[in-house]
């Protein structure tokens, strides 16, 4: 937890209301997101009880499983869920644009991409496990499933994997999205309760306390309240096993648990939509669209994702995630003055008033060439931990950068060497209030890894080519 977030939590307790820790929205919100509220049976690994699904907040689809331990009913639920989700997930792959990057070859990218929203991290984990348990299922032979089931599993696995990419919004978690923008007076563990989190944001701690009472508001899934399980659900499932037609009663009971969370998720979406999107949100969504396009294009020709990555693939993925995390934190700081303030406290950035400038300053290079190197002097009260020669970038104009030239008490002079224009056409220098930081938004070159066939013996040697085997489809509960 950062210093400013800790202060915001203290202020939330003092004022009795959650405090904003962001001035802009740092997540992308699709025009037509698909909300998924999963519900699972307690004590069973990924045994679905039901789900409330839809892109229309007024008309969600209710899916139920009267006996989650029954394999046929479980995969009938997966087939019904696939009928709702797969057409939505595939529906964005038709319209594309050609992208010509500065590095590499041109490629096709979808104009838009799907977005699934779940209430909390356990809900996302439930979908990930559901994907793992369905993507290897066979549509022929013993125990065949509907053709949509393995397709659903592959899509859910892709979305779950992509959600680990920092800043990705293809699979969005409502509690985590809200926590990026508000700090409450409760613990991070309590913030995982969507009702309590929204209570702090909209009404205060008393509303959050009421939301934690299952008699007032059911849990936001995928877990159910033990009281509901014992008093309502268990007798209905037992009656179903005995042959009593109670499917409609089970559906009505599950709806009482799902519908409040459905309303909470859409309330979270409305709150987030009120915030203006940060400048870098669009570029991160472009990355999501590119990832989506690549997966959709290779779907028909490729195998289901393997259970485990090879050593080289795992190392490359970790490197990619680490670089993405660093870039994500920098981009958010450039977007949001509240986040940049944390770096000002660390001495990695400073802000102040421009009190002097030499826009036409000329210096000679080692080869006696005239170079335009303007100077900008800033008066600041921030604690600065910089030294002459440190590279800095202008926060308001990231294309403008240079090095610290001199430091004299509260006065910092920056020599501009990037984005300053030319001798004949110099670019205007910053005026008024300005901020500089040592954070860099430059492209980070990926690490070099051996080819798959050259995996060293210390990491198991070259792995065999992955081909789906019969064992992949074996059900652990069979």
* Model confidence band, residue 43 (pLDDT cutoffs 50, 70, 90): confident
pLDDT winner (highest mean) among 133-137, 281-285, 302-306, 316-320: 281-285
Q: How far is 249 from 298, CA to CA, in rounded Å?
A: 43
Residue 369: the pLDDT is 87
Predicted TM-score of the model (pTM): 0.90
Residue 202 has pLDDT above 70, yes or no: yes
85 pLDDT more than 90: yes
Q: What is the pLDDT of residue 450?
A: 75
Q: pLDDT band at residue 477, thresholds of 50, 70 and 90?
A: very low
Q: What pLDDT score does 469 carry? A: 62
Q: Which two tokens stand for residue 257?
A: 């648990």
Mean pLDDT of 442-461: 73
Instruction: Quote the tokens at residue 429.
Output: 């220098």
Say if residue 32's pLDDT is above 90: yes
Q: Which two tokens stand for residue 277?
A: 């999107």
219 C-beta neighbours (distance < 10 Å), count: 23
Pairing type for strands 107-110 and 96-99 reads antiparallel
pLDDT in tens, 394-408: 999 999 999 999 998
Statement: residue 473 has pLDDT above 60: no
Distance CA 280, CA 441 (A): 11
pLDDT (average), residues 455-473:
68
pLDDT at 305: 75
Which candidate, 372, 350, 364, places its Cα nearest to that of 428? 372
Separation CA 79–CA 174 (nearest Å): 26
Residue with tokens 């005026």: 431
Distance CA 428, CA 425 (A): 9
Instruction: Check if the beta carbon of residue 227 is closer than 8 Å to that of residue 216.
Output: no
Tokens read off for 162: 């992509």
- The proportion of the chain whose per-residue pLDDT surpasses 70, expressed as a percent, equals 96
Higher pLDDT, 214 or 78: 78
In this prediction, residue 474 carries a pLDDT of 57
pLDDT average, residue stretch 30-43 = 94
Q: Yes or no: say if 257 and 221 are a contact pair by the CB < 8 Å rule.
A: yes
222: preceding bond cis by omega (within 30 degrees): yes
Asked if residue 385 lies in contact with residue 378, where contact means CB atoms within 8 angstroms, the answer is no
Q: Which of the pair, 312 or 328, is modelled with greater confidence?
A: 328
What separation in angstroms does the CA of 465 have from each of 135, 155, 304, 315, 461? 19, 22, 13, 18, 12
Q: Please, what is the Cα angle at 251 between 250 and 255, to 5 degrees?
A: 115
| Average pLDDT rounded to a whole number, residues 424-438 | 91
pLDDT of residue 140: 85
Distance CA 36, CA 48 (A): 13
* 192 φ, ψ (degrees, to nearest 5): -70, -10
**pLDDT score of 318:** 87
Three-state DSSP class for residue 185? coil
Tell me what pLDDT residue 466 has: 65
pLDDT surpasses 80 at 455: no
CA distances for 295 relative to 35, 112, 154, 178, 303, angstroms? 21, 14, 10, 28, 11
Lowest mean pLDDT, pick from 36-50, 263-277, 281-295: 36-50
Neighbours of 354 (CB within 10 A): 16
Q: What pLDDT shows up at residue 478?
A: 39
Measured CA to CA in angstroms, residue 116 lies from 263, 300, 404 at distances of 16, 22, 45
Average pLDDT value for the chain = 90
Mean pLDDT across 204-218: 88
Among residues 281, 405, 409, 421, which one has the least CA distance to residue 352?
409
Q: How confident is the model at residue 79 (pLDDT cuts 50, 70, 90)?
A: very high
Give the pLDDT confidence score for residue 467 in this predicted structure: 65
Q: Which residue has the higher pLDDT, 25 or 95?
A: 25
Mean local confidence (pLDDT), 81-99: 93
- CA distance readout (Å), 54 to 21, 31, 51, 260: 31, 13, 10, 15
Domains in the chain, CATH or no CATH each: 3-307 (no CATH), 350-437 (2.40.30)
Q: What ranges in 91-233 are assigned the alpha helix state H?
A: 121-134, 148-163, 174-179, 188-191, 194-202, 205-211, 226-228
Q: Does residue 49 have a pLDDT over 90?
A: yes
Quote the pLDDT of residue 27. Answer: 97
């Amino acid at each position: 937890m950062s210093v400013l977030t800790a202060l915001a939590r203290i202020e939330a307790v003092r004022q009795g209301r959650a405090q904003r820790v962001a001035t802009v929205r740092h997540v992308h919100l699709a025009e037509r997101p698909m909300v998924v509220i999963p519900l699972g049976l307690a004590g069973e690994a990924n045994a679905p009880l039901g789900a409330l699904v839809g892109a229309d907040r007024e008309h969600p689809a209710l899916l139920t499983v009267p006996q989650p331990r029954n394999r046929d009913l479980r995969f009938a639920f997966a087939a019904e869920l696939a009928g709702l989700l797969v057409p939505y997930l595939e529906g964005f792959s038709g319209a594309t644009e050609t992208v010509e990057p500065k590095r590499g070859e041109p490629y096709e990218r979808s104009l838009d991409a799907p977005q699934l929203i779940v209430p909390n991290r356990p809900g996302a984990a439930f979908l990930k496990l559901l994907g793992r348990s369905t993507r290897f299922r066979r549509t022929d032979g013993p125990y065949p499933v509907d053709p949509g089931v393995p397709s659903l599993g592959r899509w859910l696995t892709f979305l779950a994997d992509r959600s680990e990419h920092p800043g990705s919004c293809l699979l969005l978690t409502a509690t985590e999205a809200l926590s990026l923008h508000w700090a409450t007076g409760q613990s991070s563990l309590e913030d995982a309760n969507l009702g309590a989190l929204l209570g702090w944001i909209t009404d205060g701690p008393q509303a959050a306390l009421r939301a934690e009472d299952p008699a007032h508001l059911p849990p936001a899934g995928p877990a159910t309240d033990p009281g509901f399980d014992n008093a309502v659900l268990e007798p209905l499932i037992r009656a179903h096993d005995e042959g009593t037609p109670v499917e409609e009663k089970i559906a009505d009971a599950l709806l009482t648990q799902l519908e409040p969370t459905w309303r909470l998720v859409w309330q979270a979406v409305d709150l987030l939509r009120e915030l203006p999107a940060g400048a870098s949100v669009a570029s991160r969504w472009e990355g999501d669209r590119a990832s989506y396009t690549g997966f959709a294009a290779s779907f028909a020709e490729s195998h289901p994702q393997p259970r485990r990555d090879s050593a080289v693939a795992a190392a490359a993925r970790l490197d990619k995630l680490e670089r993405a995390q660093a870039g994500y934190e920098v981009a958010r700081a450039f977007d949001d003055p509240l986040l940049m303030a944390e770096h000002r406290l660390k001495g990695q950035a400073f802000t102040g008033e421009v009190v002097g400038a030499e826009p036409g300053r000329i210096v000679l290079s080692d080869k006696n060439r005239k170079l335009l190197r303007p100077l900008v002097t800033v008066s600041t009260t921030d604690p600065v931990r910089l030294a002459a020669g440190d590279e800095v970038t202008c926060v308001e104009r990231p294309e403008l950068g240079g090095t610290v030239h001199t430091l004299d008490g509260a006065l910092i002079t920056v020599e501009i060497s990037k984005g300053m224009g030319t001798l004949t056409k110099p670019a205007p220098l910053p005026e008024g209030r300005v901020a500089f930081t040592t954070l860099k938004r430059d492209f980070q070159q990926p690490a070099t890894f051996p080819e798959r066939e050259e995996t060293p013996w210390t990491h198991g040697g070259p792995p065999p080519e992955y081909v789906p085997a019969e064992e992949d489809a074996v059900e652990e509960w069979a």
